[in-house]
Structure 1
């Protein structure tokens, strides 16, 4: 895309972002007037809730990525002699979104769930430029190298967006790749140009370009947004009981906790496809997709799987965007069946 075209798209995105932000801000102020000053109050949470320190999930550890100048936190379980599975979360999550998989797969595998840069207990650089996609991809590359063996890479949402690019650029590091409700970036950019439905569903990407208002919205009413996002329109309390919601609220109640994750979006150059992978993915890939995703259209799953030389697609009917959390038994079975059928995943 030419410079003029990119400028026009950027200008349009800024206008849309401004319009959405004005509507959101007016709504927030109206609710503040009705509810009172406690509407913008976030309860202090100085210590993690018991569910986060429960040893059933695994052991907490850190790795210092000197090449990146950053320290990442992760939770690991299982025998290090077993084949390795690395789990990478999305927005607005952290390692805890893989709790069901850590517990299940630790019986046969060495499992590791990482907090990406800016999330959970990993380092949180203050500059927006420190959340550039290229840096984020390299974080994951050096993290896998630090673990010392090839792995199966399992990723969701933003983690999946990065994983698609990582397995394209560095296939030698991976025995298999499993993507959950996170589109291949090239497939996403092609699809959103012709799908008004997906464009409408992606409104939040434009909104997140605005400074401070997204953080204000997400933190309002003691982080009520997290409860709404995870439980969804179906009010799925079974998959997301109060103690699980409180685990997410603990991290996002900390001062400035939302800004680094939102900076992932603020570094997106919408409409610029120059840096996107163009070659077919050689790493064997499974796409798992919850069909009731409110942010990503179902056709993106098929389009993403078509970017692979060897790709399989499995839908989880009725599952939300948070498919590994609200349908863990189905997801775990699909992952295990795929690993069992893929001999390379057993290479240590």
Structure 2
């Protein structure tokens, strides 16, 4: 009993220290952000803090991208939106977007792979036209994992090829690790294994610096305001950083993202995942048994390149491919080359 009590005290002390450090970093970053916001308000004028609403651009309804549909997940109690393209009798390819995106981020892959696959791009809970719970606690990693598990089963296939980017791939690492029987292949784009990321964050000052947004997003209200001001300027900047292909994020494409994130509560959905992070989590993810392809844009402004190699160590059967010059949003910034890498991987893992 004394030893168990001692361990409980030590664990509680660690949690207090981690919480204090997290709050301190959040406050420091927020102070800089607030100063920057008011400087920009002074420079731009009174309309800076006016939050604009946007209407859906026609590109979101383009029939060439596929058919819009919904599934209600009984166990999870939530309705998810998805867009599908291709013959339902063909093998299933499931596409899962990141935390600052929507199904629309897979527009190039929906058209590319529908010749050989039934391609389904799902909108995570709260994103796009999926149901949007109001509570912060509804956006934890494990809720999203169980959403996608039930969603995959509901599509009626024995297994599928899972392709995820950013947060969608973070969910994917956990999902594929826990339920390998559901997946034939796992392809992840610029997203590290969550446990690898947590360990590396503690060791690397460079990654800590890149992860400023993780700590900033612990704050209430301010992150949403920061993303929305000056007609979603910060959101637009996220897409342009590390992007050498200026033609990808056209005004019409940006209008699609602005439309989705101008919906009531949509920006909180983005931030709430980070607010649910447990920096002392005891989450266990089994070694990835499913054949895995890691695709990594080398100019990622949010993640160190080293995370790709470290994540590969968590897989039994893995290939790692870099796309030189590509930024974080690799499937949108370099769709032709990325699609080529995916086709090559699909052909050798038949």
Q: How does 1:79-158 map to 2 (within 5 A)?
A: 79-149=87-157, 150-158=159-167
* Aligned equivalent of 1:24, options 5, 17, 33: 33
Q: Which moved more, 1:181-190 or 1:60-69?
A: 181-190
* 1:341/1:233 CA distance change after superposition, 3 Å: closer
Secondary structure of residue in 2 paired with 1:81: coil
1:289 alignment partner in structure 2: 296
| Counterpart check, 1:306 vs 2:313 | yes
CA-CA distance at 1:233 after TM superposition? 5.3
- TM-score of the aligned structures, taking structure 1 as reference length: 0.95
Distance of 2:343 and 2:313 partners within structure 1: 22
CA-CA distance at 1:183 after TM superposition? 0.3
CA-CA distance at 1:13 after TM superposition? 0.3
CA-CA distance at 1:176 after TM superposition? 0.5
Q: How does 1:131-280 map to 2 (within 5 A)?
A: 131-149=139-157, 150-232=159-241, 236-270=245-279, 272-277=280-285, 279-280=286-287
Secondary structure of residue in 2 paired with 1:263: helix
CA-CA distance at 1:194 after TM superposition? 1.4
CA-CA distance at 1:192 after TM superposition? 1.5
CA-CA distance at 1:57 after TM superposition? 0.6
Q: Is the 8 A contact 1:185 1:276 kept in 2?
A: no
| Counterpart check, 1:56 vs 2:64 | yes
Q: Is the 8 A contact 1:186 1:273 kept in 2?
A: no
Structure 1: runs of 5+ lacking an equivalent = 344-348
Q: How does 1:69-80 map to 2 (within 5 A)?
A: 69-80=77-88
Distance of 2:259 and 2:293 partners within structure 1: 33
Structure 2: runs of 5+ lacking an equivalent = 1-9
Distance of 1:190 and 1:319 partners within structure 2: 25
CA-CA distance at 1:234 after TM superposition? 5.0
Q: Is the 8 A contact 2:243 2:333 kept in 1?
A: no
Distance of 1:259 and 1:197 partners within structure 2: 27
Distance of 2:183 and 2:341 partners within structure 1: 19
Q: Is the 8 A contact 1:287 1:314 kept in 2?
A: yes
Distance of 1:276 and 1:15 partners within structure 2: 28
Distance of 2:178 and 2:74 partners within structure 1: 21
Task: Note the alpha carbon deviations across 1:99-147, whole angstroms, 9 max, x for none.
Answer: 0000000111000000001111101100011112111110010010010
* Aligned equivalent of 1:11, options 17, 20, 45: 20
CA-CA distance at 1:19 after TM superposition? 1.4
Q: Which moved more, 1:59-68 or 1:4-13?
A: 4-13
